[in-house]
Every structure is written in structure tokens, then in C-alpha cells.
């Protein structure tokens, strides 16, 4: 637990060091009507051939839920949590459509040599699709690589995708990290923040993406992109990322189930736009609740608080070809550790009463937690209809009584469930 907290705190430090916090003139924020019309969910979830319409993307984001490592098992879990039969029941019951963070690894690159990991994920996706074929499962490719990549052979198809002659060799950690050693050891010994200006880093992420898509993944959360681009790629117009993402989208035409993949990242600047075109399909970001002073544990959402993206994302042409004044986004209950002041408020940091967001939410009593979900969705409907609350299904919670927050109705199947499941179902049923 102490190691986990230390790493998460290091993540907060590196964000600041990399200049990843947004800086902009808030007077330039787009004008939003005082009572804008909410974007209705039309029930259309059809997409194919590399294109997802604006309507369909909004529909999916309005039914997004975080379900950490849902597609992993007890032997292939990074954080110790994995999907259960009761999770399958819950997701279908609430009407979720976009299952976030369902499959990933953090410095456990050896999993990519474990055929059972992918076979089990593929089987679970197939089982869920029998009940609801519209479901999208999201994988994650984070801002870390360890020396374990040195044990992973580079397949012939990776070389060919990058226009290189195939050779017999493994991935090279030293060719993925920053040449000058920046962020070396950032996440512990033998780790680094990958430098996306380097071709080897792009090849590794392409390899991961294709392997995930072959298992049934149709969406990717790409982590702290601006951090991985801070070692030269952002200064070069994000050429490395543009190359990587275009190759992933091209591979999706034959590897993804519906020939399409959608991608997002934590983007405090409201999106990455190059020559009028967004690199990502949508933006994701932490909720950034603001403590209500004098009312311990209570918090609210507020446009303009800290680096919140509420009310601000950039416009431009999306990867699917349609143009938006502001690209849609989701707000998630983020996890990043515990502060030095648990239980106390500080409007100068990202913690909520001294806790990360999901830990804070876990510490709320059941009645307030149910109220807060309804409040947050209503707030976004009133303030910014292109932003959505990603519901907390399952996520690591380092400061709560149990290590994982689960929304499931408490039962013998999920004894630690927090019983917010029916609230989520009610919210979505009314939209």
C-alpha cells in the first residue's frame, strides 16, 4: 500500500514538472447558454468502417462506467481486482454501454506473452455481446514502461507496419525511454515514461493496441499523453503521436470487431488539435470536486475550479470526420493516492478533503453518494451538455475501508458492494 501511494504521489509531481497543467485565459472560454439543451441519448449505437458519428459518440459517453480490469482474472490482474459474474449482471442491469478501463497492465508487460489473458478476455466480451451487442470495452495504455519489454519479441507485423524490414529481436527499453534519462525510474526501479518521439515507443504502443483489439477491445484510454510527448514530440507537432494513432486506426479496420476504435486521453488543455484536427475522439479528465467549507466530506462541481475542463474543450475536426465547436468529454472519479492532510480541505491541490476522488467518494455515506451522483449528472446537464459523468463501477480506492470501490448492490455475490447500482440505473433510465 505504501509503495502504491508513493507511486501515485510521484505521478502528481511529474504532471507539474512536465507542464501538463493547463494554462489559458479563462475569458476565452466559449460562451455556454445559462440553461443549455441537454444532448438526448437517441439509442443509436451503430458505427463501422473507422467512423463513429457525433450522435453515437455522445450516446456512448452518456452511458460510460469505469469497471477496472473487468476483463482480467486473478492471475492477470495488475491491481488485484478482476471481473466477476455479479459485475456482468450489474453492467447489464444498469444499461452501461461504454465499459472503461476494462483491460490494462502497469509494468507487467509479460502479460502480453500470456495467451490465456487474451483468450479469457475475448470469451467474456463474446458472452457479454450475446446479451448486448452494442457494448464497447476499453483498454488502457498508460504512461509507463518497464525493462520487462526487453523479454517481448517484436512480431514481424509490427516491423512491417512501420515500413521496416523484419528482424529477430525483442523490444528495447533503452530505445523507448528518453535518451537523456528524463523520467527514468519515474514509476520505480527499471521503469520510465516512454518518449513518444522515439519510433521504438510507437512500435511498443502499436503492438499493445493490436493485441488488445484482437481480444475485442474497441476503445483506448491513452493516459498522460502530454507527459509522454513532453520529451520532444509536442515540440514537433506531435508527429510521433500522429504516426502512432494513424497506424492504430488503420489496423482497427481489420483487427477491431467493427472496424473502428475510439481513443481518449487525460488532456488538461481540452484536447490536442493539429492543423484543425483533433488527435483523439474525446477528452477524459478527473472530476475535480471542490470541498464545501464547513460541511466536511461534502463537495461540489464548479466550472473554473483548479484545472477542471468543465465548460472547456477545444473545437475542430474529429478523427471520424465531423466537426464540433467543442469536443465531448467525460469526467471520471480519478485515483492518485492520499494527501498529507487527510480529512482537511485545501483548495490549492487536487485532493478532495485530503483524498483522491474515488477514495473521497468511497468515504461518503451511502445516502450522500447516491445523492451526489444524481447531483453531478444534473449539474453537467445544466452547465455543459457535451460533458458526461463516467459512473464509478469498480476502481482502486487506497484510503477507504476496502481497497476497491464497487457500485454493485450489496449481496452475497458482492458483499462489499456500495449499492449505488440502482441509482446509476435510475439516472440513465431518465435520460
DSSP three-state, residue 59: helix
Q: CB under 8 Å to 306, separation ≥6 — which residues? A: 288, 290, 347, 350
Nearest to 380 by CA among 24, 45, 97, 64: 64
* Residue 319 pLDDT: 98
CATH number belonging to domain 54-430: 3.20.20
Helix axes 421-429, 366-383, angle to 10 degrees: 30
Distance, in Å, from the CA atom of 389 to the CA atom of 187, rounded to the nearest integer, reads 29
Measured in whole angstroms, how far is the alpha carbon of residue 393 from the centre of its chain? 13
CB 49 within 8 A of CB 259: yes
pLDDT along the chain (431 residues), means of 10: 37 39 48 59 96 98 98 91 93 99 98 98 98 99 99 99 98 99 98 99 99 99 98 98 99 98 96 98 98 95 93 96 96 90 91 95 96 96 94 91 93 97 97 79
* Residue 24 pLDDT: 45
* Residue 28 pLDDT: 52
Per-residue exposure over 102-131, b if at least 16 CB sit within 10 Å of its own CB, e if not: bbbbebebebbeeeebbebbeebbeebeee
Distance, in Å, from the CA atom of 382 to the CA atom of 191, rounded to the nearest integer, reads 43
Domain ranges of the chain: 54-430
Angle at 123 between CA 117 and CA 129, to 5 degrees: 135
Task: State the burial class of residue 263 (Cβ atoms within 10 Å of its Cβ: 0-12, 13-18, 19+).
Answer: buried
Beta bridge partners, 397, equal none
Distance, in Å, from the CA atom of 413 to the CA atom of 93, rounded to the nearest integer, reads 15
* Residue 37 pLDDT: 64
CB 91 within 8 A of CB 393: yes
Amino acid at each position: 500500500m505504501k509503495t502504491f501511494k508513493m507511486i501515485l504521489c510521484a505521478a502528481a509531481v511529474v504532471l507539474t514538472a512536465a507542464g501538463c497543467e493547463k494554462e489559458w485565459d479563462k475569458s476565452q472560454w466559449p460562451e455556454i447558454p445559462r440553461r443549455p439543451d441537454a444532448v438526448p441519448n437517441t439509442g443509436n449505437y451503430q458505427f463501422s468502417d473507422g467512423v463513429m458519428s457525433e450522435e453515437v459518440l455522445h450516446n456512448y459517453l452518456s452511458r460510460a462506467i469505469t469497471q477496472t480490469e473487468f476483463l482480467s482474472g486473478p492471475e492477470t490482474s495488475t491491481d488485484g481486482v478482476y471481473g466477476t459474474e455479479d459485475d456482468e449482471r450489474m453492467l447489464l442491469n444498469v444499461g452501461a454501454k461504454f465499459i472503461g478501463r476494462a483491460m490494462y497492465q502497469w509494468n507487467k508487460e509479460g502479460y502480453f506473452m500470456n495467451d490465456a489473458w487474451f483468450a479469457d478476455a475475448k470469451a467474456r466480451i463474446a458472452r457479454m455481446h450475446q446479451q448486448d451487442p452494442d457494448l464497447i470495452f476499453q483498454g488502457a495504455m498508460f504512461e509507463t514502461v518497464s525493462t520487462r519489454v526487453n523479454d517481448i519479441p517484436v512480431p514481424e507485423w509490427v516491423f512491417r507496419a512501420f515500413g521496416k524490414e523484419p528482424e529477430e529481436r525483442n523490444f528495447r527499453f533503452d530505445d523507448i525511454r528518453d535518451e537523456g534519462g528524463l523520467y527514468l525510474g519515474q514509476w520505480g526501479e527499471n521503469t520510465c515514461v516512454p518518449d513518444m518521439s522515439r519510433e521504438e515507443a510507437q512500435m511498443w504502443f502499436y503492438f499493445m493496441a493490436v493485441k488488445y483489439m484482437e481480444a475485442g477491445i474497441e476503445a483506448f484510454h491513452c493516459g498522460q499523453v502530454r507527459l509522454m510527448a513532453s520529451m520532444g514530440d509536442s515540440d514537433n507537432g506531435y508527429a510521433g503521436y500522429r504516426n502512432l494513432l494513424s497506424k492504430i486506426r488503420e489496423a482497427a479496420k481489420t483487427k477491431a470487431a467493427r472496424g473502428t476504435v475510439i481513443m481518449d486521453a487525460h488532456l488538461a488543455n481540452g484536447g490536442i488539435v493539429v492543423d484543425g484536427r483533433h488527435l483523439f475522439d474525446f477528452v477524459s479528465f478527473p472530476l475535480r470536486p471542490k470541498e464545501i467549507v464547513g460541511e466536511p466530506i461534502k463537495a461540489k462541481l464548479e466550472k473554473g475550479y483548479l484545472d477542471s475542463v468543465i465548460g472547456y474543450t477545444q473545437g475542430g475536426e474529429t478523427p471520424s470526420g465531423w466537426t464540433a465547436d467543442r469536443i465531448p468529454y467525460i469526467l471520471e472519479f480519478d485515483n492518485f493516492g492520499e494527501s498529507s492532510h487527510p480529512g482537511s480541505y485545501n483548495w490549492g491541490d487536487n485532493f478532495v478533503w485530503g483524498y483522491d476522488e474515488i477514495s473521497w467518494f468511497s468515504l461518503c455515506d451511502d445516502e450522500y453518494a447516491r445523492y451526489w451522483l444524481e447531483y453531478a449528472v444534473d449539474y453537467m446537464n445544466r452547465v455543459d451538455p457535451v460533458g458526461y459523468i463516467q459512473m464509478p463501477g469498480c476502481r482502486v480506492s487506497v484510503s477507504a475501508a476496502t481497497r476497491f470501490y464497487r457500485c454493485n448492490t450489496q449481496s452475497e455475490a458482492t458483499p462489499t458492494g456500495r449499492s449505488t447500482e440502482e441509482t446509476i440505473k435510475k439516472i440513465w433510465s431518465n435520460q
